[in-house]
């Protein structure tokens, strides 16, 4: 087989690299960050602090543009190592959230997704559509096999995304994440490449 999926057949061949940018639809794009994005990304986090803090554990660690710039540098390193690929979500050229491809397991062809969107951009399907574009890329271009999402059991908006994407609930992990002052249980959702393709044909 030619193209990136040739990699699926030859386990010793180098794996393909995630794209620098992915067009979701007109005016909606995913793009890897560079340090020039630090100001705008920080502003997004800072204005959404209370809302994001409810479900994301890192919000208090980001207190300045320099923290954001340092995070972007770390992101570039893990991307270079093939471990993760972090995208900014751009709506009409403005950053409205992030979508990350985490813990890429090239041996077993697995990945985990994580995301957030600004409160004012919620309710428009931006994250669902962005995840669907990323899944197409992961399964078709990167030849990965299994995508997973771990979500706090009471994060109903995020659970709705997993279900809209056709992901399967595989179980509940007890006290999976420490959120500032308490543990939360998490639901593990997943979908495999054949399941994604079957769903895409519906
Ligand atoms: C979780 C989170 C990303 C959900 O955001 P969201 O805006 O509800 O998700 P989407 O962008 O997919 O939008 C879905 C909404 O758009 C609507 N929608 C409109 N057009 C749509 C389309 N074409 N496709 C899908 N949904 C569409 C859906 O009906 C849904 O609306 P509803 O909430 O009234 O049912 C957001 O609440 C968030 O960032 N929270 C804080 C951080 C967080 O929890 N991250 C996840 C950790 S696991």
Has residue 151 been placed in a domain? no
Task: Give the max Cα distance, the chain.
Answer: 51
Has residue 187 been placed in a domain? no
Has residue 129 been placed in a domain? yes
Has residue 134 been placed in a domain? yes
Query: What single string gives the DSSP state of each residue in 105-172?
Result: ETTTTEEEEEEEE-GGGTTSSHHHHHHHHHHHIIIIIS---EEEEEEETT-HHHHHHHHHTTPEEEEE
pLDDT at 6: 63
What's 137's domain CATH number? 3.40.630.30
Distance between CA 85 and CA 78 in Å, rounded?
8
Distance between CA 8 and CA 106 in Å, rounded?
10
Contact 45, 52 (CB under 8 A): yes
What is the average per-residue pLDDT within 194-201? 91
pLDDT at 14: 83
Residue nearest to ligand 1 atom 18, measured at CA: 125
Strands 110-117 and 94-105: antiparallel
Range(s) of the domain holding residue 88: 6-145
Q: Domains in the chain: how many in total? A: 1
52 CA: nearest ligand 1 atom? 41
Residue whose C-alpha is closest to residue 94's, from 129, 48, 44, 131: 44
Distance between CA 202 and CA 193 in Å, rounded?
15
The predicted-structure confidence for 66-98, as pLDDT tens digits, reads as follows: 999 999 999 999 999 989 999 999 999 999 999
Strands 168-178 and 183-192: antiparallel
The whole-chain average pLDDT of the chain stands at 94
Residues having CB closer than 6 A to ligand 1 are 52, 55-56, 115-117, 122-129, 151, 155, 157-158, 161, 164
pTM across the whole model: 0.95
Per-residue confidence at 200, pLDDT binned at 50, 70, 90?
confident
Has residue 56 been placed in a domain? yes
Element (DSSP H or E) covering residue 66: helix 65-80
């Amino acid at each position: 087989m030619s193209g990136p999926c040739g990699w699926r057949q030859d386990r010793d061949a180098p794996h393909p690299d995630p794209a620098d940018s992915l067009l979701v639809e007109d005016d909606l794009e995913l793009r890897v960050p560079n340090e020039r994005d630090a100001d705008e990304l920080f502003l997004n986090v800072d204005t959404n602090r209370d809302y994001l803090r409810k479900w994301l554990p890192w919000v208090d660690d980001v207190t300045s543009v320099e923290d954001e710039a340092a995070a972007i540098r770390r992101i570039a390193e893990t991307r270079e190592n093939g471990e993760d690929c972090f995208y900014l979500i751009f709506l009409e050229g403005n950053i409205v959230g992030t979508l990350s491809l985490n813990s890429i397991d090239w041996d077993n062809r697995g990945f985990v997704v994580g995301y957030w969107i600004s409160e004012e951009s919620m309710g428009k399907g931006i994250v669902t559509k962005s995840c669907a574009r990323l899944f197409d890329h992961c399964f078709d271009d990167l030849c990965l096999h299994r995508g997973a999402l771990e979500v706090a059991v009471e994060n109903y908006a995020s659970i709705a995304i997993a279900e809209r994407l056709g992901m399967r609930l595989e179980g509940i992990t007890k006290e999976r994440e420490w959120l500032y002052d308490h543990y939360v249980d998490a639901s593990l959702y997943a979908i495999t490449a054949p399941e994604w393709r079957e769903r895409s044909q519906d």
